[in-house]
Amino acid sequence: MTPVRPNRFNRSVFAKINYDFFTVSAVTAKGHPPLNAPAVKISSVTNSSLEVQPGSLFVPLADRRDGHDYIADAFKRGAVASFIREGHPVIKTLPAVDRIRLIPVQDPLIALGKLAAFHRRRFAPMVIAVTGSNGKTTTKEMLAQIFHAHLGRACIATEKNYNNHIGLPFTLFAIGPETRAAIVEMGMNHAGEISYLSQLALPHVAVISSIGHAHIEFFRSRSGIAAAKAEIIDGMPQGGALYVPKTIAELATVAAAAKRRKILLHKIDASMKNKSALQILSHSAAGFQLGLRGERVLFPYANKAWVSNLALAAAVAGDAGIPTEKIAGAIRRFEPAAGRMQIIKGYFRVIDDGYNANPDSAVASIDSALQIADGRPVVCVFGDFKELGKFSKALHAWTGAEAAKARISAFYGVGSDMRHAVAAFRKIAGKKAPAYLFARDAVGALCEQLRTEPKGAVILVKGSRSMKMEEIVNMLIA
């Protein structure tokens, strides 16, 4: 299992562990186990010297800076061991008392994965892996909250956005003898990344929430994205279960991958025709009335894409044996992650959906905003979508066109690529609705223009993470 190195790392991650120096060395270093290893207990692991506690294992990773430059600082702060890349020149700068506590490895990133895989294999919880172009974090949160309602602390789940080669190992370290279920999120930018993560986690169940255009810059087609998402089954045993929406794009690609690996494919749809699954009974600005095996449930979010995510989570939970009343209760109490369809009421009704974005999720958010608005004007404030490569112009234009077709009252583009969305919106909307384009450093002027929109209008704010759309939200609600 050699990872495709991700192009982004979690800044600082920390986990409690309970190993000795000998075991960590034997699992991660090349050659035979080090019989003369120091008799040292390791009680935690971190990739940040600032997070080091007495008893920590330090993992020096290369990002903007080479983590090896902080090994000395980690030892001063109480680390009892550190990975080090074999032959790294920093070895010569360390005193003898620190050199004996180094664990030479081929690559600290790979060593971290080996240790996490070793830890995962010591225990036998039900592992559920989640990925998707859109909705993977929301689906993960739904699963986590449903399983936690049933299992309490015996359920662990990915925290924050720890879904890559750094974050996933730290999630796996949270598994212990009392853990009955682990819900793990898996993200990717390139082919091969999710395969590596799946082989670390060894999931019994996998969920693909959607296949869209996210990260298409690194793929030739959406079919290529589907094949990369389907890598989530690479670490699963034969007979494992894969859950996808019935209407998922590139279903044939996903189904073929499942067939090759002898994985059971469940196609889920929130349909009135299937009374054993989640059903949409009605909807309004307050959310959705749902039916779940004879029980009526109010899902207090006007977001049809989330209902699709919820149908997947409810199907997984039901098949796992969680009682209907526990699932229904968790649905009623569901709390989304920060920056995802957060509604802030004031002069305007601002929808903060700015944690991240791509064309598919943006268009889905428009549908939700219209439902929430219940006849009020809806204004889109969209920032550039990243990692679209040669498809950027076409997909930004498609987003603007879809907004115009949905009869959005006004469209505000933020950033250079949004000029294509603004042009497409103007072409279709004509004089019926205005469109504006602002540079990212002109958000003050943008907010001044926004304040001319009618009182009570619904302002939908969305954009890629690097666009920092939360700054616009904060200015609007100040």
Does residue 5 belong to any structural domain of this protein?
no
Domains contained in the chain, number:
3
pLDDT band at 4; cut points 50, 70, 90:
low
Stronger pLDDT, 337 or 93, i.e. the higher one: 93
Does residue 113 belong to any structural domain of this protein?
no
Q: What is the pLDDT of residue 254?
A: 96
Q: How far apart (Å, rounded) are the C-alpha atoms in residues 451 and 273?
A: 45
- Digit-coded pLDDT (tens) for 390-415: 889 999 999 999 999 999 999 999 99
Same domain, 324 and 414: no
Q: What is the pLDDT of residue 77?
A: 97
Q: What is the pLDDT of residue 449?
A: 96
Does residue 2 belong to any structural domain of this protein?
no
CA-CA-CA-CA dihedral for 336, 338, 344, 348, to nearest 10: -110
Same domain, 460 and 380: yes
- Digit-coded pLDDT (tens) for 68-81: 999 999 999 999 99
Q: What is the pLDDT of residue 216?
A: 53
> What CATH number should be reported for the domain holding residue 229?
3.40.1190.10
Same domain, 361 and 310: no
Q: 351, 349, 427, 354: which is closest to 384 by C-alpha?
A: 354
**pLDDT surpassing 70 at residue 267:** yes
Q: What is the pLDDT of residue 408?
A: 96
Write the CA distances from 355 to 365, 366, 428, integer angstroms: 13, 16, 28
Does residue 7 belong to any structural domain of this protein?
no
Six token digits for residue 141: 């949160």
For the residues of 242-306, what is the DSSP string, one character each?
EEEETT-TTHHHHHHHHHHHT-EEEEE---TT-TTSEEEEEEETTEEEEEETTEEEEE----HHH
Does residue 6 belong to any structural domain of this protein?
no
Write the CA distances from 138 to 124, 230, 263, 365, 388, integer angstroms: 25, 19, 24, 14, 22
| Residue percentage of the chain with pLDDT more than 90 | 78
Six token digits for residue 265: 């494919």
Stronger pLDDT, 338 or 116, i.e. the higher one: 116
Q: How far apart (Å, rounded) are the C-alpha atoms in residues 360 and 261?
A: 29
Same domain, 34 and 165: no
Same domain, 62 and 189: no
How many CA atoms does the CB half-sphere of 121 hold within 13 Å? 11
- Digit-coded pLDDT (tens) for 321-363: 999 999 999 999 999 887 678 899 999 999 998 777 888 889 9
Six token digits for residue 340: 């995802």
Measured in whole angstroms, the distance separating CA 304 from the mean position of its chain's CA atoms is 19
pLDDT band at 383; cut points 50, 70, 90:
very high
Same domain, 63 and 136: no
Same domain, 266 and 293: yes
Q: How many CB atoms lie within 10 A of CB 96?
A: 6
Same domain, 204 and 298: yes
Same domain, 317 and 433: no
Same domain, 363 and 422: yes
The pLDDT of 15-19, averaged and rounded, is 97
- Digit-coded pLDDT (tens) for 202-233: 999 999 999 976 545 555 677 888 999 999 99
Q: What is the pLDDT of residue 8?
A: 47
Domain enclosing residue 99, as ranges:
14-107
pLDDT band at 57; cut points 50, 70, 90:
very high
Same domain, 221 and 288: yes
User: Which ranges in 333-442 belong to alpha helices (H)?
Assistant: 359-373, 392-405, 418-429
Report the mean per-residue pLDDT for the chain.
92
> What CATH number should be reported for the domain holding residue 456?
3.90.190.20
pLDDT band at 9; cut points 50, 70, 90:
very low
Same domain, 139 and 263: yes
Domain finish residue from 304, 332, 360: 332
Domain finish residue from 280, 305, 332: 332
- Residue 185 pairs in a beta bridge with 130
